[in-house]
Amino acid sequence: MSDQELVAYSTEGDVAVLTINNPPVNALSPGVPEGIRDGVAKAAADDAIKAVVVIGGGRTFIAGADIKEFGKITSGQKEPDIGFNEILNDVESCDKPVVAAIHGTALGGGLETAMACHYRVAVPDAMVGQPEVKLGIIPGAGGTQRLPRLCGVAKAAEICASGRMVKAKEALDSGIVDKLVDGDLLEGAIEFAREQAATGESPRRTRDIQDRFGNEAEYKMMLQGIRQECAKRARGMQAPQRNVDAVELAPQLPFMEGLEKEAEIFKECLFSDESKAMIHVFFGERTVAKVPGIGKETPRLEIKQAAVIGAGTMGGGIAMNYANAGIPVLLKETEHERLDKGVAIIRKNYESTVAKGKLTEEKMEQRMSLIKPTTSYDGFENADIIVEAVFENMALKKQVFGEIDEIAKDDCILASNTSTLDIDEIAAATKRPASVIGHHFFSPANIMPLIEIVRGKETSDTVIATSMDLAKGLRKTGVLVGNCFGFVGNRMFEQYQRQAQFLIEEGATIEHVDKVMYDWGMAMGPLAVADLAGIDVGIRVHQENVDQIPDGYRTALVGQKLFDMGRYGQKTGAGWYKYEGRTPVSDPEINQLVIDTAREAGIEQREIGDQEILERCLYSLVNEGAKLLEEGIALRSVDIDMIYIMGYGFPAFRGGPMKAADIIGLKEVYDRVCHYNDQYGQWWEPAPLLKQLAESDATFTQYDMQRAK
């Protein structure tokens, strides 16, 4: 495609219109910035032209730099492009007014382009923002220097450090946008451009604006608050702080020097591990939606009525998801008392959202009215999907699937929320295994954004495609996985939990193990997580799957003792920790229990360092992940990463366990796995895929790319 086509030049009387045509989101791929510069230059040289409008073709203005190009730069395939700043400076230097006409979104380099134009008009539902921080970087084309000149230092720092989208009205009120256009955007922009030209004054250049920075003492205090907030919200990340650093320079330095400093920080961030991880996550979020063999042409079923069986912890949350999406849902329990309890919890959850001002009373009642509590199967014959969320017990699940097989309509999807059990065995309890699938939600199901969608060996493409779309409709991310004990997430989690427990039995304290993993970035340490999920849940899973453990293999001992003591975790006020409300407090009794248990079992207790804790917890995840990948249970390593980030509190800025391993280097990871295998054997047998990639100096990401070909 020629540059001309990427940015089309046309005229409307005395106004030049530059239309960007780089679908789907008009990213600033090579040729687009140059096309804008050439268009502006052409307009500047034409005496018949009085002003210029820059507008996006298709559904949006400009979504920013082409993120795919960043990987090429950091991997050395391409030189960093410093020309974009010069191009924007050329645009800003034009003597005729240049107006950006914004619809959809103006993000990152898109907003930077708009700010290099002299004026900005937008439709009321447009949004602008500097989301670079979500890619582990800062704006690199003047965003940190021009934005504070428009909306003040404090506001600019907050926008850049959060990466949030700013609605058009707020952008207008804060000076980022000059006018909202209610009718046709192009017409409105042309009219505005003509008005500016008619004033006869030189166009207003953002770089020259000096009177909007705000009061220094005030913004300094606000920046401190923003930094503190970032340190909490984005614990372990450097990009939010670097965004504030760069914005803070705007009032201190002449514009061109500010740009230079911005470029330095941008480069530092771009080459950081954090940025590699975050860019991996950006594409990962989109990749998981793509399932080989399933396309637009795969038929989908319509989901207009849902039913959920079991109104316990999970069933209630799942029903809320359907109600939130406007889909009526039947909610079945065995008896009225449990049903009432389940419904009361749902109401309480909604009420707390109302109390936070995030939902109106009216909407809450609407949603409650979509949930129909019942103790019978009446109405199930009309359901398009039935989701089973009864106890984790194979016999019970089979009984329930046998029952629904009798009453569900022919094309109804039969989904199980099992967290570990064999989907094929459950499907075999029906006469329609092609309709059976796992929909593994995460607790709390009304909040956690992930659904592991488990494909049985006979699950039909239609049922898979509908499930993936449905996940999106429920505002979740669906990740398709294969069928095995624990699927992807919980099979890996077992290894992680096992190592955490082994470590304390060998001498690390509970608090130390949790602290190392928390400080590394996990939302919670492994033992605090076990308390949250329920010690009983973990132990029951063990009991149900005990035959999965090879003979003679070491098993964790203390967890079983906690279970026997009724210490189920947060729900009973005590587990690995004691709880004051939801705050964990160390419990000397359990620390002693660990020591006594180790002594009885003949496990020698020793000093264990941070590095060993990190390695054994992290590499046990990676090694199991590699096995899942090789077995085809996980489609791609990035699917595993997204499951861990969205379902298990794994830090996005580490990219997920597999990307974290790539960044550390697979050779190093493999060597340490071998080391632990030599030391302990059993659970540490290296995954053949890990060995193969390590020995060929490759990465999991390269393995994904290779297989996609």
Residue 17 interacts with, from ligand NAI, ligand 3HC, none (CB under 5-8 Å by kind): none
Q: Is residue 136 part of the contact set for ligand 3HC (CB under 6 A)?
A: no
Residue 549 interacts with, from ligand 3HC, ligand NAI, none (CB under 5-8 Å by kind): none
Which of these segments, 63-71, 178-186, 216-224, 447-455, binds ligand 3HC (CB under 6 A)?
A: 63-71
Tokens of 173: 């009120």
Q: Report the DSSP beta bridge partners of residue 62.
A: 106
Q: How far is the CB of 295 from ligand 3HC (least distance, A)?
A: 13
What is the H or E stretch that residue 505 is in?
helix 489-505
Residue 262 interacts with, from ligand NAI, ligand 3HC, none (CB under 5-8 Å by kind): none
Cα distance between residue 530 and residue 575, in whole Å: 8
Cβ neighbours of 4 (radius 10 Å): 12
Residue 513 interacts with, from ligand 3HC, ligand NAI, none (CB under 5-8 Å by kind): none
Contacts of 91 (CB under 8 A, 6+ apart): 36, 37, 40, 98, 113, 116, 117
Q: Which of 64, 188, 575, 655 binds ligand 3HC (CB under 6 A)?
A: 64
Please pick, among 92, 112, 333, 452, the residue that the annotation labels catalytic: 112
If you search the block for the tokens 């973990």, which residue do you land on?
538
Q: How far is CA 349 from CA 90, 359, 368, 375, 622, in A?
A: 54, 11, 11, 22, 36
Query: Among the residues of 234-312, which ranges form H helices?
Result: 239-249, 255-270, 273-287
Catalytic residue at 112? yes
Cβ neighbours of 208 (radius 10 Å): 10
Please pick, among 132, 262, 392, 506, the residue that the annotation labels catalytic: 132
Choose between 55 and 389: whose C-beta lies nearer to ligand NAI.
389
Choose between 266 and 442: whose C-beta lies nearer to ligand 3HC.
266
Q: Residue 103 in contact with residue 60, Cβ under 8 Å?
A: yes
Q: How far is the CB of 545 from ligand NAI (least distance, A)?
A: 11
Task: List residues near ligand NAI by CB under 6 A.
Answer: 309-315, 332-334, 338, 389-392, 396, 400, 417-419, 440-443, 533, 537
Q: Which of 143, 438, 478, 575 binds ligand 3HC (CB under 6 A)?
A: 143
Q: Is residue 27 part of the contact set for ligand 3HC (CB under 6 A)?
A: yes
Candidates 442, 372, 428; CA nearest to 397 is: 428
Residue 332 interacts with, from ligand 3HC, ligand NAI, none (CB under 5-8 Å by kind): ligand NAI
Q: Residue 260 in contact with residue 141, Cβ under 8 Å?
A: no
Count of helix runs (H) and strand runs (E) in the chain? 31, 19
Q: Residue 76 in contact with residue 223, Cβ under 8 Å?
A: no
Cα distance between residue 232 and residue 599, in whole Å: 40
Residue 131 interacts with, from ligand 3HC, ligand NAI, none (CB under 5-8 Å by kind): ligand 3HC
Choose between 68 and 72: whose C-beta lies nearer to ligand 3HC.
68
Choose between 56 and 569: whose C-beta lies nearer to ligand 3HC.
56
Tokens of 403: 């029952």
Q: Is residue 105 part of the contact set for ligand 3HC (CB under 6 A)?
A: yes
Cα distance between residue 181 and residue 194, in whole Å: 15
Q: Interaction with ligand 3HC in 271-300: which residues (CB under 6 A)? A: 286
Ranked by CB distance to ligand 3HC, the top (closest) residue is: 108
Q: Which of 10, 13, 41, 68 binds ligand 3HC (CB under 6 A)?
A: 68
Tokens of 215: 């009061």
Cα distance between residue 241 and residue 249, in whole Å: 13
Cα distance between residue 358 and residue 67, in whole Å: 33
Residue type at 344 in one-letter notation: A
Residue 63 interacts with, from ligand NAI, ligand 3HC, none (CB under 5-8 Å by kind): ligand 3HC
Q: Which of 33, 39, 97, 108 binds ligand 3HC (CB under 6 A)?
A: 108
Q: Which of 131, 433, 438, 559 binds ligand 3HC (CB under 6 A)?
A: 131
Ranked by CB distance to ligand NAI, the top (closest) residue is: 312
Choose between 139 and 525: whose C-beta lies nearer to ligand 3HC.
139
Q: Which residues are catalytic?
A: 112, 132
**Binding residues for ligand 3HC, per CB under 6 A?**
24-25, 27, 63-68, 105, 107-109, 112, 131-132, 135, 139-141, 143, 286
